[in-house]
Structure 1
Amino acid sequence: MSRTIALTLVFGLTISSVALAEQADYGLGRPASDAEIAGWNIDVRPSGAGLPEGSGTAGDGEAIYKTQCAACHGPKGENGAFPRLVGGQGTLASDKPIKTVGSYWPYATTLYDYIHRAMPLTSPQSLSPDETYAVTAYVLYLNGLVDRDEALDAGTLAKVEMPNRNGFVSPDPRPDVSNEACMQDCVQNSELKAK
């Protein structure tokens, strides 16, 4: 059997197997309910879309931070076994930039999203919305971005001006993230771009 015929048979069997698998009903599982889908829909956008009801202040968040966060990030977010959360303002253009929530992150809503999804490390998603707002407020307070008694909620969090909000370039100019798909004459086009 020639190599071409063998490859054609393998390709044909693969396509047939995929088509059969797409049509097969093995009687397993069920469609997810709207409530189940909503339970996974927890992302928060830079605009604040997706933030839940609730609120918290830095004063509320201090005790939660001490019990849930300080072991990893240090008592004031400046040291610990895991990344710093505080400091670094004015260092991004230096030879040794310190990337923290207060110096690098462009949106305060991203902090809420990350804390809600992934923190504390030993029990992610265990904080209530009020607790998450409070810890978010405390970390922002430690960075000098909000007052201790300022209540953060779905209406106010997106309005917090982060120092590096305009430090990211849009669209991203790196060629590996913005190339256009080549649909014809691709070899010629790539050769021209390389010159």
Structure 2
Amino acid sequence: MSSHDKLVLAGILSLGLLAPPALAFDFGRPATPQEIKLWDIDVSPDGKGLPDGSGTAVQGKQIFADNCAACHGDNGQGGIKDRLAGGQGTLASNMPVKTVGSFWPYATTLFDYIHRAMPYPTPGSLSTDETYAVTAYILSLNGIVPADGKIDKESLPKIKMPNRDGFIPEPEFDPAKLFRNK
């Protein structure tokens, strides 16, 4: 065996690629149910996974001003990051404006994204009620809920977004089939 072959074999062995599975991955410990629950926060389009809580667009206006407007602009427009409001009726034009109100198919997706990924640079720092409130405010900016509207885990999945029927999923990605066991 050449020196090169011995070096390659030593590298493979050090990575555990030739070791039995029990030895190759014998590190760490299984996550506890409590640890899994901390990360199991995704929300399905049908609302499964939404936590208890509620918020109003009125409450969300101040939370948005404090946490979101720096990036997304006042009233969800004119910021350095994605525009969140407006754009209805533009998708079929030469200059489509893709916003929450014009493009997104599910209101639950907005809650899910804010809850997991916003605000930058402190994702997950908003409480559940604050997340509902910001969601309500953004939906109100788009005319989807009233300016004094309130949302919660019962009402949010019932909101029909303007572009809900604008997506035609492949049959294998049918949300009714994908999320029925969640």
TM-score band (shorter)?
0.7 to 0.9
The Cα shift of 1:39 comes to: 0.8
- Tell me if 1:108 matches 2:110: no
Deviation string, structure 1 residues 74-116 (Cα, Å, up to 9, x no partner): 1111110001000000000011100000000000000000000
The Cα shift of 1:21 comes to: 4.9
- Tell me if 1:137 matches 2:136: yes
Q: Which residue pairs with 1:20 in the alignment?
A: 19
Tell me the distance in 1 between the aligned counterparts of 2:111 and 2:68: 14
Structure 1: stretches of 5+ with no match in the other structure? 173-195
The Cα shift of 1:27 comes to: 6.1
Q: Which residue pairs with 2:64 in the alignment?
A: 65
- The 1:171/1:25 distance shift into structure 2, 3 A limit, reads closer
Q: Identity across aligned pairs (percent)?
A: 56
Q: Which residue pairs with 1:168 in the alignment?
A: 167
- The 1:19/1:59 distance shift into structure 2, 3 A limit, reads same
Tell me the distance in 2 between the aligned counterparts of 1:84 and 1:30: 43
Counterparts of 1:17-96 in structure 2, within 5 Å, are: 17-18=16-17, 20-24=19-23, 28-96=27-95
The Cα shift of 1:29 comes to: 1.9
Indicate the SS of the match to 1:20: coil
- 8 A contact 2:87–2:97 mirrored in 1: yes
Counterparts of 1:176-195 in structure 2, within 5 Å, are: none
Structure 2: stretches of 5+ with no match in the other structure? 172-182
TM-score w.r.t. structure 2 length? 0.83
Indicate the SS of the match to 2:165: coil
Aligned residues: 163
Tell me the distance in 1 between the aligned counterparts of 2:151 and 2:134: 10
Q: Which residue pairs with 2:123 in the alignment?
A: 124
Tell me the distance in 2 between the aligned counterparts of 1:89 and 1:50: 28
Tell me the distance in 2 between the aligned counterparts of 1:143 and 1:151: 15
Which protein is bigger by CA-based radius of gyration? Answer: 1
TM-score w.r.t. structure 1 length? 0.77
RMSD over aligned Cα atoms = 2.3
Tell me the distance in 1 between the aligned counterparts of 2:127 and 2:60: 12
